[in-house]
Structure 1
């Protein structure tokens, strides 16, 4: 019986892989049909379809991190002939987010996307959406490993791994002493796994590093105030690092205001808020980590579109939106461009690429 289940799982995995990546002819052959390359080429224009609406529920709707995410949503829906709604909570209120999901179901949205920032709160609302025939995708934050959450796919960064790699970077910079780790909203699944990963990596190193975790809040001004206050009370610290965009910007501001790099203090964090990028260039942060928020919106729309267009035949698939350390030595491209892709311009544009492609 166990072997039968394993074999069935392999066949389903093969079928999904072919549908998503091996080509249309191979996929149809597996499903009992066949199509030649010439027939595929003669397909012509994409069929007319309903102008499907996808509702994006968010946990911090006004946070600047999600500006490029919204541009990605706008560009993908314009490209694919869809509509969207941006809703949720401005200050990480889980009840408001759940209400927004339920409202999208009641309004008969065609698809829903939501960061699963709580391990249990979204299980029933997402199941209700699926029962109503509405596909639901997680973006930016996913249900924990082993969860019963029924979302169809996750589009976002491997959060624990990104935190672990940040912890390894911290260990490479600091041998001992107090290190502050700032987190906007402890326990939320979009950032808590990063904190957990960073702490695990620091602990594994065996170095005599005293880690203190500080909650900063959901708004940029609040975060800056908490970080400044902590530093003033712990001026012997050796490092300040953050696991969210707003706190990272706050760390950079305090590092500059108190000239901390000249005192041997190191700093770093996540995401590419314009002020963070500027202060990396000026030498006040050692690094930030890019998780590509634009594609967290764009790819989620594409997944919803292909699911709806294929009647559920194609996808869904998890998409890791990446992990890239940005340092003083690699920050220049982020400064010399001003586009929607990093949230610095409202203009839709194609950006010419020059030079060799670096992996």
Structure 2
């Protein structure tokens, strides 16, 4: 895998710092809104800063548990008061950002999965003098929107690299499964796969309904026997794809983006070939920590460049080391 060397070094160093700090500190489908203050290395709220942490989470998606755990650990380590909220609908996420501005938080960390829909609310924060950090989605748009820093994976690079690995496995007609309409990150992943395997075909599913995902994939696999690989863009959809494969009799190879405990076990058991992991715990941890350091010390982590937390590949060669961390929702 080739990434920009300076950015990669920054990412590696920050990942080590994040995990070391964490070590020292020893469903439903409705949106959530919650505040976190906690112990860890500092007393709750001892820094005096309140940070709003806003995502496009669809509740029930285990990916976000890791993001949230990282953010909460960072809040404990820095003494920040963390206000977590989420909504998968872009206009409602924009409202959450505006609500954070109106409540006069000190900083905002937000996903930028639908940048055009969020641009107005982000500008409102910047106009109010509130620093904004992007994470997880929006790597190509965060500077345009005015965010100071960004923590996440280069999704095009991740997709391209995944496609190359599939091509090495002989794949000619992968099916790339997009579970959220309008997500620039998911579209970039599939575009990356297609750049390496031109026969890649996209399919849209409703990621909020696992049964519907399984039914849609089962029908597609039964109808088109030329599909020789399935690329899911989230771990829950990988589990749905395994069921669809079983029900349709498909022999397509399965790979996924992201991890949860069940998907990690499926890699161990050989049901999933590999996962492209963006290390969401680190994204949450560094988004909060970077805002704390910016507020306290004027730091600009990454020096204007995105800090890459992935792609990091998980397969049979390293699953034994990583599997225990998935059980703790930190990897």
The alignment's TM-score, normalised by the length of structure 1, stands at 0.73
Match of 1:247 in 2: 237
Q: Are the structure 2 counterparts of residues 334 and 125 from structure 1 closer, same or farther at C-alpha, using a change threshold of 3 Å?
A: same
Residues 42-61 of structure 1 mapped to structure 2, 5 A cutoff? 50-61=47-58
- 1:14-59 CA distance string (max 9 Å, x none): xxx9xx99xxxxxxxxxxxxxxxxxxxxxxx9xx964211111111
Assess if the C-alpha contact under 8 Å between 1:162 and 1:323 holds in 2: yes
Distance (whole Å) between structure 2 residues aligned to residue 225 and residue 56 of structure 1? 34
Q: Are the structure 2 counterparts of residues 250 and 158 from structure 1 closer, same or farther at C-alpha, using a change threshold of 3 Å?
A: same
Match of 1:85 in 2: 83
**Highest CA radius of gyration, 1 or 2?**
1
Stretches of structure 1 lacking an aligned partner (at least 5 in a row) = 1-16, 22-44, 204-208, 343-359
Assess if the C-alpha contact under 8 Å between 1:255 and 1:284 holds in 2: no
Match of 2:318 in 1: 330
From 111, 130, 152, the equivalent of 2:126 is 130
Match of 1:158 in 2: 154
Report 1 or 2 for greater relative contact order, CA contacts < 8 Å, sequence distance ≥ 6. Answer: 2
Residues 163-178 of structure 1 mapped to structure 2, 5 A cutoff? 163-176=159-172, 178=173
Assess if the C-alpha contact under 8 Å between 1:54 and 1:112 holds in 2: yes
Match of 2:185 in 1: 190
The alignment's TM-score, normalised by the length of structure 2, stands at 0.79
Stretches of structure 2 lacking an aligned partner (at least 5 in a row) = 1-9, 15-41
Assess if the C-alpha contact under 8 Å between 1:184 and 1:215 holds in 2: yes
Distance (whole Å) between structure 1 residues aligned to residue 324 and residue 120 of structure 2? 46
Q: Are the structure 2 counterparts of residues 325 and 259 from structure 1 closer, same or farther at C-alpha, using a change threshold of 3 Å?
A: farther
Distance (whole Å) between structure 1 residues aligned to residue 53 and residue 142 of structure 2? 25
Q: Are the structure 2 counterparts of residues 142 and 73 from structure 1 closer, same or farther at C-alpha, using a change threshold of 3 Å?
A: same
Shift of 1:341: 1.3
- Correspondence 1:233 to 2:228: no
Q: Are the structure 2 counterparts of residues 258 and 287 from structure 1 closer, same or farther at C-alpha, using a change threshold of 3 Å?
A: farther
Q: Are the structure 2 counterparts of residues 73 and 336 from structure 1 closer, same or farther at C-alpha, using a change threshold of 3 Å?
A: closer
Match of 2:114 in 1: 118
- Correspondence 1:214 to 2:203: yes
Match of 1:31 in 2: none
- 1:67-91 CA distance string (max 9 Å, x none): 01111111110111011122121xx
Shift of 1:243: 2.3
Q: Are the structure 2 counterparts of residues 175 and 56 from structure 1 closer, same or farther at C-alpha, using a change threshold of 3 Å?
A: closer
Distance (whole Å) between structure 2 residues aligned to residue 69 and residue 147 of structure 1? 22
- 1:94-125 CA distance string (max 9 Å, x none): 00100000000001111111111123122221
